[in-house]
C-alpha cells in the first residue's frame, strides 16, 4: 500500500518524522499519546500506510520545532520561525483561492491538476473543510510554494527551489 500511497501523493513522504523521533530518543507511544491516538494508528502514520491528518501533522511539526516544508521534504532547512503554531481554515481558504486566481485557474482546473473534485476545492476555498495534507503537498509541488505559507504558519510564500 505504501507504493500506491506515494504515487497518489505525488511522492509525499513524511519519513523525517521517524528520523526526528529516533534522533531524539522518543518512542512511538510517546507521540501517539501527544496526538491522543492509539499507538497502532501512529505506527501506521509513520509507516506511511495511511494519510496523516494535517491537524496531527502540525502538532508534530510544532513539537519538533520544524516546518511542515521540512517534514515533507519540500525544504532541507531545519531552522524554522513560525508566526503561528495553529492553522486557520479561513486563512487557508483565502490563500488557496488567491493562489488559484494568481495562476488564472478555475476550481475545476486546479482539481484536475491535483486529482480531486471541483466541489472539494470549493469546500476548501469556503473554509468548510480543512485542506488535506495530500492535496496541500500536491499544490505546493505544482506551484512551487511553501506548505507553511499555504497553512498560514508564515506570512511569506517562500517559493521553493
The model's pTM: 0.88
Q: What is the pLDDT of residue 161?
A: 55
- Rounded mean pLDDT, 85-97: 93
Domains present along the chain, CATH in parentheses: 2-71 (1.10.260.40), 89-150 (1.10.260.40)
Instruction: Give residue-wise pLDDT tens across range 62-87.
Output: 999 999 999 999 999 887 777 778 89
Backbone angles phi, psi at 15, to 5 degrees: -70, -15
CA distance 118 to 143: 18
The answer on pLDDT for 121 being more than 50 is yes
At 12 the pLDDT is: 84
- pLDDT at position 159: 67
For residue 157, pLDDT over 90 is answered with: no
Residue 104: what pLDDT? 96
Question: Tell me: the pLDDT tens digits for 4-35?
Answer: 333 444 578 889 999 999 999 999 999 999 99
Amino acid at each position: 500500500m505504501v507504493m500506491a500511497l506515494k504515487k497518489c501523493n505525488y511522492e509525499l513522504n513524511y519519513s523525517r518524522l521517524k528520523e526526528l523521533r529516533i534522533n531524539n530518543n522518543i518512542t512511538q507511544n510517546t507521540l501517539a499519546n501527544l496526538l491522543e491516538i492509539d499507538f497502532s494508528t501512529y505506527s501506521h502514520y509513520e509507516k506511511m500506510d495511511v494519510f496523516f491528518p494535517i491537524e496531527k501533522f502540525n502538532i508534530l511539526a510544532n513539537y519538533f520545532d520544524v516546518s511542515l516544508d521540512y517534514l515533507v521534504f519540500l525544504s532541507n532547512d531545519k531552522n524554522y520561525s513560525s508566526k503561528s503554531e495553529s492553522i486557520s481554515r479561513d486563512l487557508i481558504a483565502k490563500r488557496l483561492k488567491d493562489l488559484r486566481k494568481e495562476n488564472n485557474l478555475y476550481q475545476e482546473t486546479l482539481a484536475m491538476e491535483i486529482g480531486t473534485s471541483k466541489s472539494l476545492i470549493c469546500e476548501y476555498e469556503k473554509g468548510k473543510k480543512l485542506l488535506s495534507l495530500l492535496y496541500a503537498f500536491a499544490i505546493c509541488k505544482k506551484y512551487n510554494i511553501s506548505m507553511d505559507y499555504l497553512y498560514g504558519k508564515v506570512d511569506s510564500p517562500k517559493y521553493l527551489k
